[in-house]
Chains A and B, each alone.
Chain A
Amino acid sequence: MAVSTDGRARTRREAKEALGPFGRVQQAVNELDERIGIAKGGRVLLDKIFPDHWSFMLGEIALYSFVVLVATGIFLTLYYVPSSTAVVYHGAYRPLDGLHMSEAYASTVNLSFAVRAGLLMRQIHHWGADVFVGSIVVHMARIFFTGAFRKPRELNWTIGITLLILAIFNGFIGYSLPDDLISGTGIRIAYSILLSIPFVGSYLAFFLFGGPYPGGIILERFYIIHVLILPLIIIGLIGAHLGLLVRQKHTQFPGRGRSEHNVVGSPLYPTFTAKTTGFLLMISGVLGILGGYAQINPIWQFGPYQPPKISYAVQPDWYMGWLDGALRIMPAWQWTGWGHTIPWEVFLPAVIFPGLIFNICIVWPMIERHFTKDVALHNLLDRPRDRPKRTAAGAAMIALLFTVFGASSTDVLANYFHLSLNTVLWFFRIAVVAAPIITAFVTWRICIEMRRVPGAVQRKRAVIISRTAEGEYVSAPAAERPGDEHRELEPEPVPVRIQLEPDGDEYREPATVLTGEPGVRRVRR
C-alpha cells in the first residue's frame, strides 16, 4: 500500500513539475495554440488598452441591457404562446375570469401571475428594452458631440444608427405581443401607417398582416420577428460594432501624453475585465429592482384587445413617443385626385419624418466633411465647445425630438394644466419650429463664450475663512481635494509606457513624469 501510495504521489508531483511554472493553464494554452494559434494574438488582446472616461460607459449600458434582454427573453419564450386563437380565461387572476381573449393575452397574464418570478422577468424585460433604447440614444449623443464618428469611424457610426432603428422596431413589436388593449391599438396604428405609403401601402399592409386588419396571423409573425429575426441581426451588428472597435481601437480625450497615435488607459485583463463584469452585474441588479418595484405595462389592467374597444390617454413606450407626437401635431393634409389619395397627415410624420431624421444622422459625417474639408483620420475626441456649429446642430436635433416627444402627451398636458387642447396643440406646433432654432443659437453662443474664457468651468478651490483669537478674519485656500489636480479633459501627467529592465537594475522614478514629456517608466522584473 505504502509503496503504491508513494508511487502515485511521486507521479503526481512529477507530472506537475513537467507542466512548468504555470501548470495546467500553460497546458491549456499549449493545446489550443498548437491547433488554432491563440498565444500571440491572445496576449495582445489581454493587453488591449481601454481609455478611462465615464462617458465611454454609456455603450456598455446598452450592451449589458441587451444581455439582460436576451436572458429574460429566453425565460419568457418558455411560457408565452404567440396565437390569436380566442380562448376563455380561467386562471389565477380572478377579475379577468370568464373573459374572451386571445391565447397570447391569456398566456401573458398567466406567466405574470401563475409562473414563479414570471412577472419579475416580464417587467425586467420591459424595463430592459426601455433602458436599451435609452442608453443607445445617450451613447449616440456622446459619439456625436465628441466627434467620434469622424473618419475612420463613419462605418461604425452607421452600424450604431442601424442598431438604434432595429432596437426601436423590436421594442415596438415586443410590447405588441401581449395583445392587450393598448398594444392592440398600437398594432392597428402601425397597420394604418403602412396603408398610408403611396403606391404600395395597401399591399405592404396586407402582406405583413396576411390580409385585412387584424389578419389573424400578425402575432405569430411579430413573435418570430421579435425573438429570432431582429435579435439575430442585432447580435450580428453588435459583433461588427465591437469588432470594428477592437480593430480601430478606442478614441480618447486629448491630454498630455495622449496623441492620435496611441491609446492611454487601463488593460483589458484584469482591470477592465473586473470593472466591466461588475458593471454588467450592477446593471442587471438595477433592472432587477426596477422589474420588481416599478410596475410597467400592467396588461391585466388594460384588458384583452378587442377592435371596438379603447381606453383614454393611450400612449406608446417612450421611444415611440416622438412619432406619436409628430402624428398629433401634424395638420390634416391629404391630397386627393385622379382617383388616388396621398394621406400626408400620416405619411409625412410617421414615415418621412423618422426617415429624414435617421438619414440625416447617417450622412452627418459626410455633411460635416463637406463643410470642414477635413479628410484626416481622427482618434482624439473634440470637446463639444470647440465645435460650436456641430454642438449647436446636435442640440437643435435634441430640442426637436424632445418637442415632438412632449407633443405625444397633448391630451394629458391639457388635462393636467387645465388648458384647452387647442392651446397645447398650437404651443407644440410653434415650439417644434422655434425650439430647435433657439436651442441652436443659445448653444452656439455658449460654446463661443466658453472658448473665450479658458478655465471658466474649472472647479474652484474652496477657501476657508477663520477668525483668529484677536478677532481678525483670515482666509486661506483649502487643501486640494483628490482629483483637483487633474480635471476632466485637462492636460494630465504623462502616462508611462511599461518597459522591462534586466534583473538587478535599480528602479528609478522617471524624471519624465515630472517634466511632462512622454517617457518610459523603468520597472524591475
Chain B
Amino acid sequence: MSDEEVHVTGDLGDTRSDGPGATSGDGESGGSGVSRGTGPGGTTGGRPIATLPAARLDDPHMQASARYPRRVEGIIVVFFLLGIAGIAAFGVAYIENASTQVYAVTLFVGLFCLGFGITAWGKYLMPQGPFVEDRHPLASSDEQRAAMAAALVERTGVVVKRRKVLGGLFLGGMGIFGVVAAFPLIRSLGPRPGSNLFTTHWKRGTPLVDQTGKLVHRTDMQVGGVLTVFPKGWQTTTTAQAKDQVVLIRVQPTRLTTRKGRGTWSPDGYVAYSKVCTHLGCPVGLYEQQLELLVCPCHQSMFDVRDGCQVVFGPAPRPLPQLPLRVDSTGYLRAQGPFDQAIGPGFWERTTTGNGPASRTEKPT
C-alpha cells in the first residue's frame, strides 16, 4: 500500500457492512444489533462519500454496552427527554420567579442530561475508530529555510544598510513616539507619591473623634476599652480613614513600659497607635484584652500594647507607630503632634529614621 492510500482523508467508510468475518472475533454478539444504520443510507453507487457507520462492535475502543445499541439508544432518549423537561422547567421557574435553588436544579437537570445524552451518543453509537491520521512534518526543507534567511539578510543589507540615515531616522521617530505615548498613558494615571506616604491628617492639637464625629473625653473609656478614632473633620472620608485610622486603648498606666522620649504620650493610660498594619496595611482590628496584644487578622502579627506596640509575633517588621496624646483643659483627648514616622507597610523611600522603639538599642527605663 502506498502512502496515498492510507490517509484518513479517505472516508469514514461503513465499516459495519459486515460479512461474517466482521464479528468473527466475538461470537456472542452474532448479528444482533449489527445492521443498525445511520445517515441517509449509502445506496447510490456513484456517490463520492460513504454513509457514516455505527461503531464497529469489535473495535478495541468500543464499550461493552454498544453491543446493544437499542438499549443505549433507549437510555439516550430518556436522558434527552429529561434534559428537555429540565430546560423547560427552568423557563417556567424563571417566569414564575422561583428560588435560586429551583433555578439551579432545573438548569442542572436540563444541561447535564442533554450533555450526558449527546456524550453517550458520541461514545457508544458513533464511529470510534481508532482511526489514524498521519503527522506531516511541519519543518520546511533546508533550501526553503535558507531562502527565508537569505531574504531577510540580503534585503536588509541592500535596502537598509545602504540607507542608514533613513533607517536611523525612522527608528528614532518610533522610539520617540513610544516615549511620548508612554508619558500620557502611564504618567497621567495618578499623582506622584511625593510626601503623601509620610503624612497623615494628625497635626498638633488635633482632637480625637470616633467614626460618628464624637469627641473622646478622658472619662469615656474604662481600662481595657478600645476605640477606633480619627482626626476631627476626617472621620467620614474613606481616603482619610484609610491612613488616619488610629486605635485608642486604655491600659493601667503602671503596666505601661515608657520608652525614651515618650514619657508624656499616654495620659491616664490612654495609648494611641496607627491601626494600619506595618506588614500589609490591614486594619489591626483584634484586641486581645488579657494579654494586651493587638492582633492583625490578615497575617497574625501581634503587637504588645504595653510596650510601644513592639512586634511579638508574625511577619510585621516594625512596631505600630504611636500617636502622642494629651488631655486638653476640658478633659478631651488631642494629639500632641503627628506620627514620628511613616505609617503602614514599608516602601523604598521610607527612611530609616523614626522606626520606633524596635530599632533603637536603648532599654526602657
Considering only CB atoms, which chain A residue lies closest to B120 in the complex? A278
Stretch at the interface among A156-164, A170-178, A227-235, A308-316: A308-316
Beta-carbon contacts under 8 Å, A18-73 to B: 21, 43-44, 47-49, 52
Chain A minimum-CB-distance residue to B111 = A285
A271 located at the interface, meaning its Cβ lies under 8 Å from any Cβ of chain B in the complex:
yes
Do B118 and A198 have beta carbons less than 8 Å apart? no
Q: Cβ of B254 < 8 Å from any Cβ of A? A: no
Closest to B126 in A: A271
The docked-state distance in angstroms from the alpha carbon of A185 to that of B279 is 13
Stretch of A112-120, A128-136, A430-438, A440-448 that contacts chain B: A112-120
| Residues from 19 to 61 in B contacting A, C-beta threshold 8 Å | 19, 21-22, 24-25, 42, 44-45, 47, 50, 52, 60-61
Partner of A340, one of B119, B191, B350: B350
Provide a sorted-by-A list of 14 A–B residue pairs whose CB atoms are within 8 angstroms: A48-B133, A117-B100, A192-B344, A196-B347, A271-B126, A274-B122, A281-B111, A308-B245, A310-B283, A336-B355, A341-B347, A500-B13, A500-B50, A507-B17
Residues from chain A with a CB closer than 8 A to the CB of B12 are 47, 267, 498
Complex CA distance for A86 and B110, rounded to whole angstroms = 41
Q: Residue A263 contacts which of B14, B133, B299 (CB distance < 8 angstroms)?
A: B133
Say whether B177 faces chain A, with CB atoms less than 8 Å apart. no
Measured CA separation A116–B298 after assembly (Å): 35
The stretch among B151-159, B164-172, B259-267, B309-317 that forms the contact with chain A is B309-317
A257 in contact with B239 (CB, 8 Å): no
Cβ–Cβ < 8 Å partners of A120 in chain B: 100, 103-104, 107
A292-B104, A341-B346, A346-B280 as given contacts; A498 in contact with B42, CB under 8 Å: no
The 8 Å CB contact of B131, one of A264, A307, A334, A341, is A264
Contact segment of A202-210, A367-375, A464-472:
A202-210
| Contact of B112 (CB < 8 Å), options: A197, A265, A281 | A281
Question: Is B74 close to A, CB under 8 A?
Answer: no
Is B332 among interface residues, defined by CB-CB distance under 8 A?
Answer: no
- In the complex, the answer to whether B111 meets A263 with C-beta atoms within 8 Å is no
Give Cα A214 to B1, complex, Å.
73
Expressed in whole angstroms, the Cα–Cα distance for A44 and B348 within the complex equals 59
Which residues from chain A contact B134 at a C-beta distance below 8 Å? 261-263
Q: Tell whether A524 is near chain B: CB-to-CB under 8 Å.
A: yes
- Cβ-based interface call for B282 (8 A): yes
User: Is B162's CB within 8 Å of the partner chain A?
Assistant: no
Report if A454 contacts B (CB, 8 A). no
Contact status B9-A43, CB under 8 Å: yes
Question: Given A308-B228, A498-B10 in contact, is the A289-B105 Cβ separation under 8 Å?
Answer: yes
Inter-chain CA distance A508–B61, complex, in Å, is 20
Instruction: Type the 1/0 row for A473-502, where 1 means its CB is closer than 8 Å to any CB of B.
Output: 000000000100010000011011111100
Residues of B within 8 A of A509 (CB): 21-22, 24-25
Q: How many residues of chain A have a CB within 8 Å of chain B?
A: 130
Q: Are A271 and B122 in contact (CB under 8 A)?
A: yes
| Interface residue SS majority, chain B | loop
Interchain CB contact under 8 A, A307 and B315: no
B291 adjacent to chain A (CB < 8 Å) = no
Using a CB–CB cutoff of 8 Å, the interface residues on chain B facing chain A are 1, 5-15, 17-19, 21-22, 24-25, 42, 44-45, 47, 50, 52, 60-61, 63-64, 94, 97, 100-101, 103-105, 107-123, 126-135, 138, 186-187, 189-193, 196-197, 211, 228, 238-239, 241-243, 245, 275, 279-283, 285-286, 297-301, 311, 313-318, 344-352, 355, 359
A455 at the interface (CB under 8 A from B): no
Cβ of A193 to closest chain B Cβ, rounded Å: 7
Q: Which of A43, A206, A292 contacts B193 (CB 8 A)?
A: A206
Most B Cβ at <10 Å: residue of A273, A275, A492, A508: A275
Cβ contact within 8 Å between A212 and B104: no
Beyond A123-B100, A216-B239, A264-B133, 10 additional pairs, beta carbon < 8 A:
A47-B133, A116-B94, A117-B103, A188-B282, A263-B134, A308-B228, A340-B349, A495-B132, A499-B1, A500-B13
Q: In the assembled complex, which residues on chain B have CB atoms less than 8 Å from the CB atom of A521? A: 15
Interface residues in A218-261 (C-beta closer than 8 Å to B): 247-249, 257, 260-261
A397 CB-CB contact with B under 8 Å: no
Per-residue CB contact flags for chain A residues 71-105 toward chain B (1 = under 8 Å, else 0) read 00000000000001010000000000000000000
Residue among B19, B21, B42, B100 with most chain A CB within 10 A: B100
Q: Evaluate contact between A293 and B112: CB separation under 8 angstroms.
A: no
Nearest neighbor of B46 in chain A, beta-carbon distance: A21
On whether the beta carbons of B22 and A293 are closer than 8 Å, the reply is no
Partner of B282, one of A267, A284, A310, A499: A310
Chain A residue nearest to B40 in the complex (CB): A21
Q: Is A6 an interface position by the 8 A CB rule?
A: no
Given contacts A286-B108, A525-B42, contact A520 B1 (CB under 8 A): yes
Partner of A312, one of B9, B47, B115, B297: B297
Leading 10 A-B pairs by shortest Cβ distance? A292-B104, A281-B115, A274-B122, A278-B119, A343-B346, A285-B112, A285-B111, A282-B115, A523-B13, A495-B130
| B238 and A212 contacting across the interface, CB-CB below 8 Å | no
Chain B residues with CB under 8 Å of A356's CB are none
Q: Are A271 and B112 in contact (CB under 8 A)?
A: no
Q: Is the CB of B132 within 8 A of A192?
A: no
**Chain B: minimal CB distance from A264 (Å):** 5
